[in-house]
Structure 1
Amino acid sequence: MLITFRRDGRGQAHDQGRQPGRAGRRPWSAAPDPVGLPAEVLERHGAAVLRPATAATFAGAPTPRTTIYRTGVLQLPESFLAPGSAVLLARLNEILAGIGYRLAAERVLRFADLPPAFKRPRRLPDLLRRVRLEVLPGSVARPVDAWTALQTLRAAAAVEPGIAAAVARIELEHLLVGASLYGDPSTEGHPSTEGHPSTEGHPGPATYSRGGTGGRAPVDVIMSAPRRCDLGRLGGRRPVVAVLDTGIGPHPWLDCSTSPAADDFVYLDTATQWLIFAREVLDDKDQPLPGPIEAPVYDSPLLGELDTHAGHGTFISGVIRQAAPDAKVRSVRIMHDDGVVYENDLLVVLATLLEDVQDVQSGAAPADLFVDVISLSAGYYSENAEDVAYTSQLEEIVISLGECGVLFVASAGNDSTERPCYPAALSPLPDGTPAVWSVGALNPNGSKAFFSNDGPWVRCWATGAAVVSTYPTDYDGSQKPLDSLPEENAPGLPPRRETIDPDDFASGFATWSGTSFSAPLVAAALAATLLFESERDPGMSLGDFDPAHTVARAARAVRTLGG
C-alpha cells in the first residue's frame, strides 16, 4: 500500500489559471479540456457538453469552460419555491419569457410538504432543488437549455441589482463521472478519454483500460477475509467511512445490515437512499436510482455487456475492507452503473450526513450516525473561469463537514490533466487545512499513473493502478472465453478446459485501475489511523464527539499518516 502526501499541498485550486506553466508547457488554464461522454449516456440523463465556442454568453461575461450539465433543469434554493417568494419567482419567469422559457416550479414538491416518514435535512432548509425548464406555450418549439437560461438570468442581474443576490444562488446541475478506467479508450464509449487530447495517438493512458494491463478483469485471491477485531476490544465504536457510489453487490467479505447499530462491515443507509429516491420521483427525473443493492446492469440488454461502472461500489468497499478491516462502511448509492452522479443527489447525501454529524455532536442522535471519513470517487470540471466564482452550495456543505471534523477524500480524476476537478480541488478551509483530500493514482511500483490528473491541487497519492479487490459474485457478462472445449461437464469429472472468461466474476475478485480506487485507500488509511490514535492516546477517543475534539482527532490522524 503506497500513500504519499504533497508537502506543498495547500495551493488554492481557484488560482490554477493564474499560475505560470511549467517550462515548455502551456499554462494550466490553457490546457485542452478533457470533458466528454458518449452521446447515448448524455441522452439517457438529459445532459449536454457545454462548449466554449458555441456557448451563449452576455456582454462582459467570461468565456465558460467545458463542463457536462443537465439541459432541462436549474438548481434553485428551496426558499425560492415558497409562497413568500412568489414575487421573485414571477420576476425570474418574466426574464426567461424573453427567450421562450419558464421555470415549472409548481411541479416541485417542497421538502416541507414531504411525509414525516421521509428523513430530510433540517440544518440546510434552503437546499438546492431541481426545477424543470419548459418552453412557454405559443413559443417557437426548441429544446430548453439550462445554460442559456442561466446566462439570461445573469445578464438581467447585471443591470438589475435587486435580483443579483438571488440569481447568484442559481446553479446548473452538473454530472459527476466515476473515476475508473474500463473498456478500450480507442473506441467510443469511454467517458474519461473520449476526445481526450492527451490520449489521442498516445498509447500510455490507454493501456490501463485493457484487461491484463489494469482494466477491469476477473482474478482470484488465495487468502481469507482480513480479520476484524471484536467491537468491545475497540472501545465500543469503529471509525465510519461513508462510501457514496454504486451500492453493494453480494460478496462474502461484505456482510451488510440496514441498522447503523449492527456490527456488520457495511451499513446500508436505506433512510438516505429512499430520501434520494423520493426527491428524484418528485422532481420528475427520468432515471431514478433504485435501492442500495447493486444488481447486474448491462450497457445494452440485447448484447449483455456489463455496464461501465457495474461493481464499482463493491470494489471500493473491498479496498476499505483490506486496508481498514476494523472500520465500518456506510454505503449510499448515488452513482448510476454508467458512472454518472447527479450533483443534486450528492448535495442531498452530504447535507444528510452533515445533519447526522451535527445531531450526534449536539446529543440529538446516537453515536452510530457519526461519520469520520467520506470517500467519493467521482468529479466534474467547472464551467467557471478561474477568476469568477459563482455561489456553490457543494463547497458550503463540504466546508461545514470539515468544520465538524469529518475528513473528505475524493478522487482527482483520470484525464491526464492539470485542470482542477471538483469537489477534489475545492479550496482549503480558512485555517489552511484542505477541505478535501484529493487523491491521485500511483502505479504498483510507486510511480505516478499515466492516466492520473495532477497539479498542486492534488494533495496526496496512493496506489490506484491494477488494484485487486472485491467484485459482486453474481456478475457474468456476455463475453466468453476465447477457447473452450465443446463438451459439457460430466458428473464426477473435472471442469471443462477453457481460457479465462473476461467478464465472469464468480471468483468475487477483480483487478481495476483509476483514481476511483486510490481515494478509498486513503480514506481507509485515515480510518485505520483514527483507530490507532484512539488506542494509543485516550485523549483521541472515537467516542468523544465534541466538535473541537473531532477536529483535533482528524488533524492528528492526518499528521500521523504523513500529511
Structure 2
Amino acid sequence: MTIDYIPEPPTEGGTEQFGLPWQGITLPPAVLDRHGARILDPWAVPLDKDETPPDSTVYRARVLLIPGQALAAQESSSWIDANLSRLGVRISQDSVDNARRRDYPEQPVWMPATLEATGDLPDVDPDAWRALRELRRACRDQAGGVPLEEFVTRASLDHLYVGSGVDGIGADLGGAPATSGHGVIDESGVLSHAGYGRMPVTLMSGPPRRRSIEELGGDRITVVTLDTGVVRDHPWFRPWTDDDAFLTVDPQGQAMIEAVHPTQGGRPVARLVGFEDLGELPNPLVGTLNTHTGHGLMIAGLIAQLAPDARVLMYKVMHDDGIVPGEAVHAAVDRLLDRMRSGFTVDVLCLAFGGFAETGQGTQAMQALFEKVNELRARGVIVVNAAGNYSTTRPFYLAAHSDTVVPNGPPLAPMLGVAAKNPDDTIAIFSNENPAVRWRAPGAMLVSTFPPNVQGAQSAALTNGRRTSLDGDSTSPFRSWSGTSFAAPIVAGVIAARLTATVNQVNVDRMRRAHDTIQQMISEKVIRPEITPI
C-alpha cells in the first residue's frame, strides 16, 4: 500500500471555457424532500444588475445559518425580521428562543434560523436564498447602522454536505463515479454498481492485535470522525461503554448536535438521533438499504487495521442517505473545541464528506467552519479531508481549504486533502482533483467493517431456494466499498500509527510532532508499517 504526495498542485483537467462549469449536483427528489432541501439552480434564480450568477449548491430550503449572537439579541433579530418582511417572511420564534438558551463566546456560533411566512402577503415562498440576498442588500445599504453588524453580515445558507462513499445499494447521489453531468456512456465497469459500490464480503481474519496502555507506555492517539455513528455487536469492536474501547462516543456532545436541528416550519424532515447507525430503510415498502448505511463503521475499521493502538471517537452528523447538515458539523466542531479547551486531547480529525458552495471562494459558514478547524489545528490536530467523488476540479469544501495559507495567525498543524487510487495505483475515475488536494491513497475496493445485522430487501439475481447468486444488500459484518471517504481514513490511520510511536516520549511538542510526521510521509513512499512477510 502506498500513499502519494503531489509536490506540485494538479493543473490538468480544467473546464472548457463555455458557459458555467459543470455543477456536479444531482440529488434525487426523495432525498431533497427528506431534508427539506433545494438545489440552487444558477439559471433559475433572479439577479440584480451586474450580479454574478451563483454556482449550484444544496441547501435547506427554509433555513439560514446565522450566528446565535445575532439571533439571541432583541435588537438584531428585530432588524432581521424587519428587513425580511419585504419578502413576507420572518425568523420563527422557535429559532430565536433556541438561540437565547445558549451562552456565547466571542466567536460566532452558527445556529439554524427557520423562515416562516408573516401572513402579510399571499403566496409567499420562504426561500433561504432569496432571504439571504435580501439581508445582504440591507446590510450593504445600511452599513454602519446594523445592530451586531459583525454577526448579522455573516448569515449564510444552511448547506447540506454529502458523504464521499461511492453509492452502494440505493439512490444515486450524483457524480459517482463519473456519469452524472458528463458525456460518459453506460459501459460495464463504469457505473458505481458494477464494481465500486458497497458489496458484502467474507473476511477470514480478525482485527489486528491492540496493545494495552501499559504496553504502549503513554496515552492512546485519538482520531475523531464525524460520520454515520457506531453500531452494537460488531465482532471487531468492544462496546463503546467499555474502558479503553477502540470505538467510542460522546453522548453529551451528541445531544448538543441533536439540539441544533431546525424545526423547518413544522414539516417532518430527517433528524439525527443518538450516536448509533441504525440502518434505517429509506422506504420500508421497498426495503433497500440507504446509500451510506455503515459508512462510519467502514471508516473505523480501516483506521483499526492501520492503527489498532489508537482510539476512534465518532460523532454522528451524517444521515444514512449520505446527507450531512451544516449545523450538525458546526455543533460537532464546537463541542470538540470546548472539550480541548478543558484538557481533552485530539490528534487527528478525519472528515469523509464535503460540499459545493455557491461562490468559488466558499461561503461565510464554510469559511467559519474552516476557522474553527484552524483552532483545532492550532492545538496540534492534523485534519484529513476527503476530496469528493464527482470527477471534477470544482472546489469541494472542506477539502478545497486544505492547502490554504493562513497569514498572520498562530502555527497550524497540517490539513490534507485526499483523492482516491485504484488497486493498480491509477487515479480512481470518481475522484475529484483540485490544487488543494495534494494526497492520493487507496480508495477503491477496500475491505472493512460493516454493521452486521442490517439487511435490505434486494433479492439475489438468481436463486432456486437453495442456491443463490451474491446479494449486494445482504447481511455481512464486512464490506468492500470505494470512495474518497475511505482514502481519507487510510491516511488518517497511517498518521495515527506514526504518532503512536511517540506516545512514550515526554514533553512532546504537538505542533512539531504533527509537522514532522507529515514531512516523513512526504519524503517517503508510505508503506503500511506493520506488514511482515511470512
TM-score normalised over the length of structure 1: 0.84
Residue in 1 that maps onto 2:489 = 520
Contact 1:56 1:151 (8 Å CA) reproduced:
no
**Match among 84, 94, 100 for residue 82 of structure 2:** 94
Q: Distance in 1 between matches of 2:59 and 2:298?
A: 27
Contact 2:303 2:489 (8 Å CA) reproduced:
yes
Residue in 2 that maps onto 1:274 = 255
| Paired residue type of 1:418 | T
Residue in 1 that maps onto 2:56 = 66
Shift, 1:358, TM fit: 2.2
Residue in 1 that maps onto 2:528 = none
Q: Distance in 2 between matches of 1:81 and 1:466?
A: 46
Q: Distance in 2 between matches of 1:25 and 1:266?
A: 42
Residue in 1 that maps onto 2:307 = 324
Contact 1:469 1:509 (8 Å CA) reproduced:
yes
Residue in 1 that maps onto 2:391 = 416
1:225–1:203 distance in 2 versus 1, CA, 3 Å: same
Contact 2:113 2:262 (8 Å CA) reproduced:
no
Shift, 1:482, TM fit: 2.8
Alignment of 1:291-310 (within 5 A): 291-310=274-293
1:271–1:391 distance in 2 versus 1, CA, 3 Å: closer
| Structure 2: segments with no counterpart, 5+ residues | 524-534
TM-score normalised over the length of structure 2: 0.89
Shift, 1:421, TM fit: 0.3
**Match among 207, 212, 219 for residue 225 of structure 1:** 207
Q: Distance in 2 between matches of 1:156 and 1:391?
A: 22
Alignment partner of 2:269: what SS? coil
Residue in 1 that maps onto 2:184 = 201
- How high is the sequence identity, in percent, across the aligned residues? 32
1:25–1:281 distance in 2 versus 1, CA, 3 Å: closer
What is the number of equivalent residue pairs in this alignment? Answer: 513
Residue in 2 that maps onto 1:44 = 34
1:289–1:35 distance in 2 versus 1, CA, 3 Å: same
Alignment partner of 1:353: what SS? helix
Alignment partner of 2:215: what SS? helix
Contact 1:529 1:561 (8 Å CA) reproduced:
no
Shift, 1:302, TM fit: 0.3
Residue in 2 that maps onto 1:556 = 516
Contact 2:414 2:514 (8 Å CA) reproduced:
no
Shift, 1:144, TM fit: 1.1
CA RMSD of aligned residues (A): 2.8
**Match among 396, 416, 436 for residue 371 of structure 2:** 396
Asked whether 1:502 is paired with 2:479, we answer no
Alignment partner of 1:175: what SS? strand
Q: Distance in 1 between matches of 2:511 and 2:258?
A: 32
Alignment partner of 1:476: what SS? coil
1:40–1:399 distance in 2 versus 1, CA, 3 Å: same
Shift, 1:91, TM fit: 2.1
Q: Distance in 1 between matches of 2:108 and 2:22?
A: 36
Alignment partner of 1:174: what SS? strand
Contact 2:166 2:176 (8 Å CA) reproduced:
no
**Match among 104, 108, 128 for residue 126 of structure 1:** 108
Contact 2:229 2:276 (8 Å CA) reproduced:
yes
Asked whether 1:448 is paired with 2:430, we answer no
1:25–1:295 distance in 2 versus 1, CA, 3 Å: closer
Shift, 1:194, TM fit: 10
Alignment partner of 2:66: what SS? strand
Shift, 1:214, TM fit: 2.3
Greater Cα shift, 136-145 or 334-343: 136-145
Contact 1:75 1:128 (8 Å CA) reproduced:
yes
| Paired residue type of 2:53 | T
Contact 1:73 1:133 (8 Å CA) reproduced:
yes
Contact 2:168 2:199 (8 Å CA) reproduced:
no
Q: Distance in 1 between matches of 2:60 and 2:188?
A: 28
Q: Deviations over 1:381-421 (max 9, x none)?
A: 11114498788321210111111111111111000000110
Greater Cα shift, 90-99 or 345-354: 90-99
Alignment partner of 2:440: what SS? strand
Structure 1 runs, 4 residues or longer, greater than 6 Å off: 281-285, 387-391, 431-434
**Match among 125, 137, 149 for residue 155 of structure 1:** 137
Shift, 1:505, TM fit: 2.5
Q: Distance in 1 between matches of 2:461 and 2:168?
A: 17
Contact 1:34 1:193 (8 Å CA) reproduced:
no
Residue in 2 that maps onto 1:189 = 172
Contact 1:246 1:337 (8 Å CA) reproduced:
yes
